[in-house]
Each structure stands twice: as structure tokens, then as C-alpha cells.
A and B are shown apart, each in its own frame.
Chain A
Amino acid sequence: MTGSNASPDQILSRLARAAFDPLGWVETAASGPYVGVVGFDVPTEILVAAGLHPVQLRGAPIAATVADFDGLGLDPVAASHVASFVRGDYAALDYLVISHDRSMNAKLFYVLRELARLGELPQRPRLAFVDLRHMPRPATSAYNRRRVHQFAELVGRWCGGTLTDVDLQRAIDETNLTRRLLRSFEAARRSPEAPFRSTDALAVLGAAQVMEPAEFRRAVVSLLDGVGGRPERGPRLYVSGSTPEDPRPYQALDSLGAVVVSEDHDLGLRRRAEPIEPGDDPLGALASAYGTPPPVAGWEPLGARARHAVDAARAAGATVVLEVRYLHDRALGWEWPSMRRELLRGGIDGRSWQIPWPEAPEVPEPIASLIAGGDAQMSPR
């Protein structure tokens, strides 16, 4: 269906399914073995090098089951991963790898490890944690190199062997093809006659973390060849903040006519924009690429991220920076005043939209008015 005969809408539909229903996609896909990934700094090239298929998982809105785990101190997304694992939803996965891209994921790992110790987790998938840290210091880089080497050793054991540099270089080359294609897609998405709705763009970005790489690239190339332009109606938005667990925030923005032209959350290209140069030390290159990415929400020193958002919004031709924040993403709340000051200095409109995931997001009236052009001179608040 993703070949040359498929229509753009059919291609987009398949990409969206992969992006937002990764478990459903795994059930019908033909490749594997599958590794569920929670967190955005798992060096997935190591999995690819071992012939494994990484699948980025999303939080599942299963509130009733999540309530059984009250007192774990997990946010609803992390709690939904626990609930999904316990009730066997992850049984199609061979392994589950969690990374430390946010503190909540560390707690998620400890919780799952304890449930496993108590014999309350299904046998599949097997659990692992990759502890990459992100402060721009030599000590952290050295720590990350050791952790990446250990992860490669672990994955090698999973597959009954040792990963060679050639295996790793080949996997890096493979993912670099995807990274380059995504950059082309990003450019097409930003063009004034943007051919994609915001939700379409999010589906492409998300599917890259789920689909088999060659199949994904075929789909996106067909899409870029086949889609015509859509005249823009509303303002061009740069979205900052929480990583969407589902497409609903972007769908809501689309319905108002806005166009999201770029973003700094983890489905965006910030961590994937640059190809990795493996050189003669592919694991070192992966540690560097995943340990010290460009400023991402929730990671960088407060001012750095805010300044980056202003620069990136300008580069993308966005007229408004919209912080889309899940209420449970507590750290972002501490960043917003700094972001707001920086936006004011940069003369860019900025708004914060807070969403109680997994409830359906509703665009607040002031933001809807701004998008509709009713109050274009609103200042950040």
C-alpha cells in the first residue's frame, strides 16, 4: 500500500497508523523481532545493527487500569506503560528498552523492575534500561560512552553474538538515510504552499520511529512526489513543549486552520536532524549523538532552550510559538516564564496551552482567537 500505486491519503493513513498505534502496526507488520522503546534517547542504531526492529511506544489512554497503580508516583503516560505491560499488551514485543530522557522514565524502570521481581509482569517483553545523561560536560560524555558500550554488549547477548563496527556502521548508514529524508520532508513542510496539514507532518515524523526504515522511506518519497499544495489559512505555529502521545493537539490546531511548521518536542527533528558520522568509533559517535542533542524541552538550561525556540521559530517562518504542555509534564511549567521573557525580547507571539492528557484537548478561546487572526498582536502570556 505504500508503493507507487497508493494515493497520498492512503500513504498518510498508513503512516498515521504506525505513528499513533504502534502496537496495532506491529501486529500486522511482517518484520521483527520487535523492541518496544520508551524514551527518545535510546540509540536505536544498536538495535538495528542486531537485526532487531525498534518501535517507539506511545502512552495509551487506559485510565481505569492506570488507577490500579495509584501511589506509584508515575504520571499518566508512564502509568499507562505499566498498565499496558501488566495486562499483556506488549506481548508482541521481544524486548522493552526504556531510556532516561526524563526523570519519570527512571521511575518507570524501577517500578517495572520491582513488579518483575514480585512476579507480576508477563515474561515478555524482557526489560532493559539505557541511562544516557545530558549535561554538556566531559564527565557525562564519558559516562554515556560506557553506557552505550554496555547497551551494545547487552543487545549482542540478546542475539547470541557480538556487534561489530561494520554492523554498527551499516545501521548508522541506514538511519542516516532516514534522517536526510526527514530533513527534505521538513523543508517541504515549511514551504509557503505547505502540502501537509500539521497532523500529516506529525504522522510522518512519528512513523519514522516505528516503521521498517526502507518501507518508511518509500512511503515518504511517494508522498513528497504525489501531494499537491494546500493554501495556508491560519498562522504558522512553532510548537514547543510536551511530546504528543497522540495526534489530537495537532488535529485541534488543524481544525482551526493553523499550520505547525516545526516543533522542539521529541517527535520533531531536533534530535534527528543531523546524520551521524560513525568514523572508526561508531559507539562513541552514537553516545555523542544521543547524549548531547540540541536544546530540547525539559533538558537544556532555561535560557538556552528559550533562545533556541525563538531562533528556530524565525527560521521556520513561524509567527507564533505555542507551548503545548501536558499538565503532568511538570518541569515545563518552570521553563515557561523564562521562555515568555525570551519571546517578548524576540518580539514573537507566544502562548501556553495546557492539556490534561489523556482527556480530549480543547483549544482555549484566546488561542483559538489568535489563530483565527482576531488578536494578532497579543503578547506572550
Chain B
Amino acid sequence: MSEASRRSTKVLAVTTDLNRRQREWFAEVRERAAERPIALVNADAPHEVFRAAGVDYVVVQWWSSLLSAKQRASASLSALRERGYPDDDEQYSALGLGEMLAGAGEEPWGGLPRPAMLSGVVTTDGSARVLEAWAQEIGATCFLFESTVDPRLDVERRWWDRLAHDWPLVLDPDRLDLMVAELEELIGIVDRRLGADFSVDRLAEVMALANEQLEYYRRTRDLIATSVPAPVSVVDTMPATMVSQWHRGSSVGRDAAKALYEEVRARVEAGQSACADEQIRLMWLGRGLWSDMALYQHFETEFGAVFVWSMYLSLAADGYLRYGDDPLRTLASRFVPMIEILRMPTWSSAWHDKEAQLHQIDGVISLGEEDYFSARALEARGIPVLRIGATNVDPRTWSRRGLIEQISRFLDDRVAPVAARRRESGR
């Protein structure tokens, strides 16, 4: 299937506008990269340090999403394999490395400028190795943050109610101490090796702007969750959040989140919906299917089924907000628990359960997720879960036809009765 035929139809002007502006921003970064070093950072790294230091950075997973959307994944994975690297591990983090190794001159948007520094958290042994291998291939500096564990046996489950303000009471102080010390070390390296000039006052401004931005995401999430039919689907919210999130802490990011909120609110007030005949509300558990966003909309026409939830907007709404007087420690509190929120039992499963209820979800499609406890919690609540073992950016692991067949059968057999009961109950 060609790229054009996999294009989804966006209903928000802000999504299209963001994509255009992202392309312009990337062109500017490419221009500036000729004169000053840039950084390449994982999504879970504290980008705010680079922003406060005035260093341009590109997010690894955003670049992967673009490569995937431009149907470059297969070539990239082949290049990894030819170089002796795995092509079946950490694909979402490694596509850019593969694209660089392929060196075919077919990179989208002119290609990624060569970074002087790479950074991320050791969330898995493999993810750290990808960054190290990438840095070694190009002779760049690699700075990794330790991934730490809270060894307490009894932890707060409703983290989403408490982390924004009460994080000093919820999070293990030793973990925060370590990340603060690592941030201080990173700042020194960024200043020395990238010729930057980090300012803690500037970081305070970045943190304030980020919180403004994140509050808009929270309002947008709440609007979508409580509006039936949903004003927009993940086809808009995933890219609109993904792109603006990586400008977090800038006026550009804040304004994009605000524009997203205002346009969604206008649609709610005008009674506009993603699918006029919404019958079923779905949750997409997992990373975005960037190479085939139109797939999400296939089920709107066939079933009146709308994907109203993805982690992108809801994580932005619940996972990042932090208020505090000490910018560095507050920043550490944003990233210390990120892996638990996203992928680890107790926190992630409790959150998925809460979000499914909030969004009045009838069924869940879980693609490539470690979802044992989430699936159990959701099924126990009467929300059926379809688990699909695939990797979002690896086209060898799924096909459009296969997904449509699986999901259609699931909607018919398990989700439609749940949705009918919800509609009858007036929820």
C-alpha cells in the first residue's frame, strides 16, 4: 500500500498546521546544525536541560515515527542487520541508527543532522546499548541516566492524583537525589562539549512553560473523555500531542497545546464529532501505528468505532505535570517514575484502568504491550481486551489486512455487546 493511501483524514486544523510547522522547524535545525552541535535524545530523557541550555535536540522516537510514516522502516531494519545489530529488538529506538547506516540518501525531510551528543535513560539494557552503539558509530558523546527502582513493597497506586504537587511525598528521595546529581553532571557536559550556557533561571522558565502546556493537555484529555460522541480521535490527538510534546517548555509547545485545546473545545461546543454515528469507544494501548494512521479510521466507517484514547495525550495530561520550587529536583521528579507509569505493573495497570473508565471505553486493542496486569484489570471490569503481539514500527510483524480481520472480529464478538449496554444505560 502506498504512503498516500495510508494517510488518515485529520479533522483538526491544528494537526495539519503542526505538521507543517514541524517540517519548518526541522529545516531550521538542519541549517543551524551546520554551525552548532545538536543532541539526539530519547523520549524519556529530561529534554528540559537542553532547552534551558539553548541546544537544539531531536527526539529519537519522533524521528522513528517519521521514518515509519515514510515507509523507511524495512530499509532501516535491513541496514541494522547487515551491520550485525539486532533487527528484532528496540526497533522504535533503533530505526534512526539503521537509517543512518543505510546511507541511501532517501531520508525524509533532508535527513537527520549528525548529533554531537545522545542521551537517554537506561530503561532497558537494550535501549541503552542502542544509544551507545549509535554514539560509537558516529563518534558522539553518550550520556545515560540510571534507571532506578523504588524497593518499597507498598506504593501509592493513585499516582495521577498526587505526582503533580505531592511528588516529594510519593517518590523515593534517594532516586531523586541520584537523578539531580546526574542532571548536574549532564549540564556540565552540555556546557563544555556543546558550547552551551545552561541557566537555572532559564530552566525555571522552561518548567513553568511546560506546566502551562501540560495543563492544556489535561483539559483536552478531560474534554475528550467526557464528550460522547468524541470530538476527535487518536488520528488527530496522537500526532498533535507527539509533535508538540517534544517542544515542551517552549512558547511554541505551549501555544500548540493551547491551540489543540481550543479547537477541540470549539468542536465540542459545536457538536462536532470524529464519527457522526459513534457506537463504540476504543482504547489503543501501545505505540502509534505511524505508518498506517488510516487504519484507526477504518473502524469508524465499518463499525462506528472510534479510537478515543491513546497514551500520548493521556500521559501528557497525567504523567508530566510537576510543581516545585527547585527546578532541577522538580525536573528529576518528572522522569524518575516515567518507566513505572508507562510499563510497570501496579502503576501502569492502575492508570489504564482509571483512564478506561474516564473515557467510557468499550474495548481495548493492545499492540505490542506488556499488558498482563492491565488486561486483567480491564477484563475484570468488563472491558474486553484484544492483545496483538506486534511492533508498531516493524512492518514484518503485522499487516493491515491481518489487523483489520482481528480487530473486526473482536469488535463483533466482544465489544459491540459491551458498547450496546453502555449506550442503553445512558452513559
Contact = CB atoms under 8 A, between A and B. Distances in A.
Contacts of B86: 330, 333-334
Q: DSSP majority for the A interface?
A: helix
Interface in B128-174: 128-130, 132-133, 136, 144, 146-149, 151, 153-154, 174
Contact of B349 (A69, A114, A139, A334): A114
Contacts of A336: 84
Interface in B160-191: 174, 177-178, 181-182, 185
Contacts of B151: 109, 128-131, 147, 150
B89 interface: yes
A146 B174 contact: yes
A139 B182 contact: yes
A110 B373 CA distance: 11
A146 B370 CA distance: 31
B85 A334 contact: yes
A110 B147 contact: no
B8 interface: no
Contacts of A72: 345, 370, 372-373
B84 A337 contact: yes
A117 interface: yes
B83 interface: yes
B126 interface: yes
A340 B85 CA distance: 11
Q: How large is the interface on A (under 10, 10 to 19, 20 to 34, 35 or more residues)?
A: 35 or more
Contacts of A73: 343, 370, 372
A330 B178 contact: no
Contact of B136 (A109, A142, A302): A302
Nearest to A337: B84
B372 A70 contact: yes
B123 interface: yes
Contacts of B370: 71-73, 107
A130 B152 CA distance: 10
Contact of B149 (A104, A109, A116, A331): A109
B326 interface: no
Contacts of A131: 148-149, 151
A107 to B, nearest CB: 7
A127 B153 contact: yes
B98 to A, nearest CB: 12
15 contacts: A71-B369, A73-B370, A100-B149, A103-B122, A103-B123, A106-B344, A110-B346, A111-B345, A111-B372, A131-B148, A131-B149, A137-B185, A330-B89, A334-B89, A335-B129
Interface of A: 69-73, 100, 102-104, 106-107, 109-111, 113-114, 116-117, 127-131, 133, 135, 137-140, 142-143, 146-147, 150, 298, 301-303, 330-331, 333-338, 340
Given A72-B373, A106-B344, 8 more contacts: A69-B372, A71-B370, A107-B370, A114-B345, A117-B154, A131-B148, A142-B181, A143-B178
